[in-house]
Structure 1
Amino acid sequence: MDKKVAVQKRKRDESKDELRFPLEKHFKAQVTTRGYRDIGAVIKKLLTERQLQMFRRTCFGHFLELKDSRFSGVLIHSFILRAVNKVTSGEELWFRVNDVDVRFSAYEFAIMTGLRFSHLVDIDLYIPSKATDRILQTYFHGCKSVTYADLSRVFQQRPWGEDDTDAVKLALLFYLHMGLLGSDLRKTIPQKILQLVDHLDGFNAYPWGVRVWQMTYRSICDNISRISIDSGPKKKKENQLKQYGIMGFPLAFQFWIYETLDSLFRWVDESPYIGAARMLRWHTKDIPGWDSISAIFTGDPDDVNFPLDLSPVERDTEWYEDIIRYTGISDSRSSSASGDAPSSPRDVSSPIVAPPPVDASVQPPPTCPISDPIEELISPGPGPRPATTEHISLHCTYALENMLVPIDQNSLHASMQLPQGANGTVTS
């Protein structure tokens, strides 16, 4: 073996399971989220009670029960600074907290969000063969490029009139892009999603958890890489990264931190209702500041909950069956802790109950039948997990010149009650 290659390999091996950022290199930064944090309040304001009941029967309906959506950039940045160099076979993030290695992967993401996962992510599988562009033609005048900003403007004008079903369809588009796939307001919405939402059985069956997870995961990874470069040994402290944004759904990451750290009791409250998704049981009392870091990261392993313990109610949900098939996990309680870092000695033992029933007098929105049996399409067969899912495109594309009408960003921010900032970011 070439001597230079051998030295490089030894350095990589020596760095395995080591902290990406030693404590002496920690620094403060402002973290923003591209998602709209008060999206549930907007939907509740614009939809009627009947339409809200219909929305609650969809794949995103449980998010209306989210008690709080305040974003804590301090907490998220402090966790990111505790990232560990761990060699894994899949999409996983590892952090060392109080000498305990904890994992944030698609498995934990599904527990927090209740979103569905599957390897069958080709959206064409869920669109009927006779699908049309009715939503695009009716509400976006057939424009070839519909942006996040266009969707926000149209939705807030309530253009559906008395059509309850279309109200729910536009609300689903709004929640998906402005809440779960948070990104630049100039990003365009794939035309196939505009077709899919017009067929609610396919939209509800689609594994949105994969798309939302991968966008969130890749954004966190990109920022960890940027921080690593900007805080390298040759970088002066004043040149370190001061601000960065996370796309996707970083609130799921934040609420997973709530589950992981018992030392956050001063800032959060929990309730026993988490049957649909763990996020639903948390309420943020206050956002911690930089002066609270030492009180949060106490150094006591007993303050760390990992792996998360699931209840029979959770194990009986569709999303749990999906994520087990998707990840191939045979023992959900396996921590795979590495190095000298021990697993948490404690489990989550808070009471877990099933979600309350939806009013049966309100029927779900009518759906259009799909030409192929959807249950066959979304049930992955046995076999190893595919190595990659690169066919999902999550890169930003910009089409300012193709917007429906010129949009005043200041007016858009005001209408959405967003703080003034660049392209829809919400700061901690």
Structure 2
Amino acid sequence: MALMVPTKDHFPAQYSVCGELEDAVAIVRSKLSVENMANFRKMPFGHFMDVRKLQFSGQLIHILMLHLVREQPEDEMWFMINGTLHKFTFEDFCRITSLPTSKSYPNFSNVRSSSETIHKKYLGGGTVKCTFAHFRNMFMTAEEDVPGSDLHKLASLYFVEHVLLAKDRGDDGWPTGEI
């Protein structure tokens, strides 16, 4: 079985990324009302509200990705390590992260764009670049002017950017980059 990255092209890497689950959970909890929290928990990242601690190892992920097999099923990741094939399934991921294996979420590919999207209403649409600092400030200061139905969606976007799309820290200690 061929690797995605041939052995001759493997390279060492050093990571300095941050993804802070505990901080994001605390901030989301502080911003959402009981009703909004109930709606947030119904979204794909809602189960993370119950995860106590999540340790990330960039070096381990890098090594695994270097050993990723080229041909594999769509819902599995296969790694060739020391001549042995190791399979990582969706069920394995759910077991490790304490996420449910059976809950399906709607397919958004058929949703038509409207003038009422989060992107258009709060992030300037397609006309301006939105940095994480801009979005973080907008989310942290959102109060009564943001309808409750939008606040849990903004919280989900904040969670994705703060935890799952971890980035290098800036001078102020917060992740940097564009959304």
Report the TM-score when normalising by structure 1: 0.31
Q: Which runs of 5+ in 2 are unaligned?
A: none
Q: Tell me what 2:25 maps to.
A: 40
Residue pairs, 1:72-87, within 5 angstroms: 72-81=57-66, 83=67, 85-87=69-71
Match of 2:156 among 151, 166, 172: 172
Change (3 A) 1:39 1:170: same
How far residue 134 of structure 1 moved from its aligned partner, in angstroms, is 6.5
State the alpha-carbon separation in 2 of the partners of residues 178 and 147 from structure 1. Answer: 14
State the alpha-carbon separation in 2 of the partners of residues 134 and 176 from structure 1. Answer: 17
Change (3 A) 1:116 1:54: closer
How many residues are aligned here?
Answer: 170
State the alpha-carbon separation in 2 of the partners of residues 20 and 107 from structure 1. Answer: 28
How far residue 102 of structure 1 moved from its aligned partner, in angstroms, is 1.3
Q: Which moved more, 1:40-49 or 1:60-69?
A: 40-49
Change (3 A) 1:92 1:20: farther
Q: Give CA-to-partner distance per residue, 1:84-107, whole Å, 9 cap, x none.
A: 545346475422357642123666
Greater than 6 Å deviation, 4+ residue runs: none
How far residue 64 of structure 1 moved from its aligned partner, in angstroms, is 1.0
8 Å contact kept, 2:25–2:48:
yes
Match of 2:111 among 126, 129, 146: 126
Match of 1:147 among 130, 147, 150: 130
Match of 1:101 among 74, 85, 88: 85
Identity, in percent, stands at: 22
State the alpha-carbon separation in 1 of the partners of residues 38 and 57 from structure 2. Answer: 30
Structure with greater Cα Rg: 1
Q: Give CA-to-partner distance per residue, 1:62-97, whole Å, 9 cap, x none.
A: 11112213321232234335x154534647542235
8 Å contact kept, 1:160–1:166:
no
Q: Which runs of 5+ in 1 are unaligned?
A: 1-15, 185-244, 246-408
Change (3 A) 1:49 1:78: same
After superposition, the CA RMSD in angstroms is: 4.3
Q: Tell me what 2:38 maps to.
A: 53
8 Å contact kept, 2:79–2:86:
yes
How far residue 43 of structure 1 moved from its aligned partner, in angstroms, is 1.2
Q: Give CA-to-partner distance per residue, 1:321-373, whole Å, 9 cap, x none.
A: xxxxxxxxxxxxxxxxxxxxxxxxxxxxxxxxxxxxxxxxxxxxxxxxxxxxx
State the alpha-carbon separation in 2 of the partners of residues 136 and 29 from structure 1. Answer: 34
